[in-house]
A and B are shown apart, each in its own frame.
Chain A
Amino acid sequence: MGYDGAMAVERRVDTVMVDQRAGAFSRRSIKTDSKAAGLRLAISMLDLTTLEGKDSPEKVRSLCRKAMRPYAGDLAPPVPRVAAVCVYPSHVRTAARMLAGSGVHVASVATGFPSGQYPLDVRLRDVSAAIEAGADEIDMVINRGAFLAGRTTEVAEEIRQVWQACEGAHLKIILETGELETYQNIRKASDLAIEAVASTGVLRDGEVFIKTSTGKISPAATMPVTLVMLEAIRDHFLSTGVRIGMKPAGGIKTAKQALHYLVMVKETLGEEWLTPDLFRFGASSLTNDLLRQLLKILTGHYMAMHDFSEA
């Protein structure tokens, strides 16, 4: 029997408490050694992303170079490479060629990103094409129109089909929280997405992520939204023992924000989630701010933006 979204017990979200709890994470004081470790960890969790209509192969190649070696200078220990490079399907081949053997994953948005407003067979074909081209991670968008219209069974069925089309590639399910209006909807969509993939069989840890946003809609990732999603992941873990990953994307621009997110992950899910296998940042401008703050700790003086390569 297929999964029926309507059967899921809906968990209530207390909006006021979510805001308050999320706000509390940004008041932790993180200094010196812990800060340096946090910054390095955040760099290793980055999905460097370029999703523009004007992306060119050279833009993608330069992003890949940045991914493999975020900082051109010498540091001991060296700055870690980032987790993945995230591009449109048409640039996957370029990225895969550049990143072969580097340990940096190739992620591709698919399923008619960013709107998802295409026939299902087109979206599934999009996924297969990205995987054929060399992507080992797929960032899919859910059908928000159907979700908001209450057709949750349809949304779940689509997610399941996309997951089956992934054939071993990891899947990140973008809820596009900026379009879901309420925390309650975000929680519902998180549970729906997780349970849809879980209904296909046993999942391995980190095989599936839920992701906040496409980055094309404002507001993108915020702390409270991410907290609601982390709690969905926690509840799934407590009932099944399976670790779903989390990826906030868009709007995280400063190292300070990134550290707040790490605090939130640790205090909500625990230390096991503090790895690129289970937590990612979807960002690109964040990289240089992380580097800037790391260099500040290591050298003692403030760095300039022009000390770091663009990409």
Chain B
Amino acid sequence: MPERLDIIKTCKLFIGGSFPRTESGRSEPIHDGKGRVIAHACVASRKDLREAVESARRAREGWADASSYLRGQILYRMAEMLESRREEFASALSTTSPLTPAKARREVDASIDRVVRFAGWADKFQQVLGCQNPVAGPYYNFSVPQPSGLVGILAPDAPSLLSLVTMIAAPLSVGCPVVGVASETSPLPAVLLGEVCATSDVPGGVVNLLTGKRDELIEPMAEHREIQVLAAARLKPAQRELIQTAAADGLKRVNLLEYSESDWNDDDVAASPWDLEPYIDTKTIWHPSAT
């Protein structure tokens, strides 16, 4: 009886609700702790980024116009799908990163809870970030939060799942589609996250996930004028400067996160309404009062 060959997964990108290979044809092996190849991940190019932005752009109005209640439901559905694949996520984390199995499980659980938390905020942040303003005149004056538009995300290397989930779920809950670049050192959880999105009623194009090299994608992402907000974490000083300079041209908002490991786990730090605020624009409306 011949020895069975392992079927090693070739992880693809997640763009527009489907799983294309990178246009560049490049891939890199993903190793486990013992140096064995357990999968291959695509190395996305700037053209893949462009495609992802096009998809997100097409999905933008639909996601922004979906009711807050529906967005919350879809995020909650995402948490359900994550929950059903808890073991798979935990093993992906512990085999491809220095995390122990117990720590990996804790990160998966925190990630699922994080999605649920943002699912809850989807129809509640309006009350916190919007208000009726007092004005001296016969008017009502309202400030209403609205989704800013397309959000680009550069996730840090670690915690690879929790950071990506946090950075994606926040803009999603306020109505922004996202294009995310996964942890460079541990991309496998992001690939699984794409599969979760594809099976959890998230409309195609609302979530797009790329694996690849941060240094290659950071500049086209910062310069792309269709991306309205760029969120990034744990960047090197040179990368920070590059983003801020390039983003100035299109008046892109830049949200640089400097969370420590414990911060990522702290809901009050990483998942408060103020973490939603970078992804909204405030519309202020004057309305004559009846008096």
Pair A305/B223 contact, Cβ less than 8 Å: no
Majority SS of interface residues in chain A?
A: loop
B29 at the interface (CB under 8 A from A): no
Tell me, yes or no, whether A301 is within 8 Å of chain B by CB: yes
Report yes or no: A301 in contact with B223, Cβ–Cβ below 8 A. Answer: yes
Report the tally of A-B residue pairs with Cβ distances under 8 A.
23
A302 touches B57 (CB 8 A): no
Q: For the complex, is B250 an interface residue (Cβ under 8 Å from A)? A: yes
Are the C-beta atoms of A304 and B223 separated by less than 8 Å? no
Bound Cα distance A305, B149 (Å): 13
Give the residue of A300, A302, A307 whose beta carbon is less than 8 angstroms from that of B53: A302
Interface residues in B42-65 by Cβ distance below 8 A to A read 50, 53, 57
In the assembled complex, how far is the CB of residue A284 from the closest CB belonging to chain B, in whole angstroms?
18
In the complex, what residue of chain A is closest to B150 when comparing beta carbons?
Answer: A304
Which residues of chain B are near A304, meaning CB under 8 Å? 224-226, 250
B220 within 8 A of A: yes
With a cutoff of 8 Å between Cβ atoms, the chain B residues found around residue A303 in the complex are 225-226
A305 and B226 contacting across the interface, CB-CB below 8 Å: yes
CB distance from B206 to the nearest CB of A (A): 18
Instruction: For residue A298, give the distance in angstroms from its CB to the closest CB of chain B.
Output: 13
A260 to B246, CA, bound (A): 32
Chain B nearest Cβ from A309, distance in angstroms = 15
Cβ of B260 to closest chain A Cβ, rounded Å? 33
Bound-complex Cα distance A300 to B225 (A): 11
Number of B residues whose C-beta is below 8 Å from A?
A: 11
Instruction: Report the separation of the CA atoms of residues A302 and B223 in the bound assembly, to the nearest whole angstrom.
Output: 7
Q: Which of B123-174 contact A (CB under 8 A)?
A: none
Residues of B within 8 A of A301 (CB): 220, 223-225, 246, 249
User: Inside 8 A of B224's CB, which chain A residues have their CB?
Assistant: 301-302, 304
A308 to chain B: closest CB distance in Å?
A: 11
Residue of B nearest to A301 (CB): B223
The answer for the CA separation of A303 and B57 in the assembled complex, in Å, is 12
Give A307 to B224 CA distance when docked, in angstroms.
Answer: 12
What residues of A have a CB within 8 angstroms of the CB of B220 in the complex? 301-302
Which residues of B have CB within 8 Å of A307?
Answer: 225
Contacts of A300 in B (CB 8 A): 223
Contact residues in A for B249 (Cβ distance below 8 Å): 301
For window 256-311 of chain A, which residues contact chain B by CB distance below 8 Å?
300-305, 307
A307 CA to B225 CA in the complex, in Å?
A: 8
Bound Cα distance A304, B251 (Å): 12
Among residues of B, the one whose C-beta sits closest to the C-beta of A300 is B223
Once the chains are docked, how many angstroms separate the CA of A268 from the CA of B84? 57
Chain B residues within an 8 Å CB radius of A305: 57, 226
CB distance from A38 to the nearest CB of B (A): 18
Across the interface, which residues of A come within 8 angstroms of B225, CB to CB? 301-304, 307
Give the most central of A301, A302, A305: most B CB within 10 Å: A302
Bound together, the chains give a CA A301 to CA B250 distance in angstroms of: 10
Taken together as a complex, chains A and B put the C-alpha atoms of A301 and B246 apart, in Å, by: 10
8 Å CB interface, B216-244 against A: 220, 223-226
- Cβ of B246: which chain A residues have Cβ within 8 Å of it? 301
A224–B254 alpha-carbon span in the complex (Å): 46
* Chain A residue with Cβ nearest B54: A302
CB distance from B205 to the nearest CB of A (A): 15
Q: What string of 1s and 0s marks CB contacts (under 8 Å) between A1-14 and chain B?
A: 00000000000000
**Bound CA span A307–B50, Å:** 16
CA distance A307 to B57 in the complex (A): 14
> Which A residues touch B223, using CB under 8 A?
300-302
Q: How far is the CA of A307 from the CA of B251 in the complex (A)?
A: 12
CB distance from A99 to the nearest CB of B (A): 31
Q: Return the chain B residue nearest A295 by Cβ.
A: B225
Q: List 9 A-B contacts (CB under 8 A).
A: A300-B223, A301-B223, A301-B246, A301-B249, A302-B225, A302-B226, A304-B224, A304-B226, A307-B225
| Known A301-B246, A302-B53; 9 more pairs at CB < 8 Å | A301-B220, A301-B249, A302-B50, A302-B223, A302-B226, A303-B226, A304-B224, A304-B250, A305-B57
Which A residues form the contact surface with B (CB < 8 A)?
A: 300-305, 307
Which residue numbers of B lie inside 8 Å of A, CB to CB? 50, 53, 57, 220, 223-226, 246, 249-250
Shortest 3 CB-CB contacts between residues of A and residues of B: A301-B223, A304-B225, A304-B226
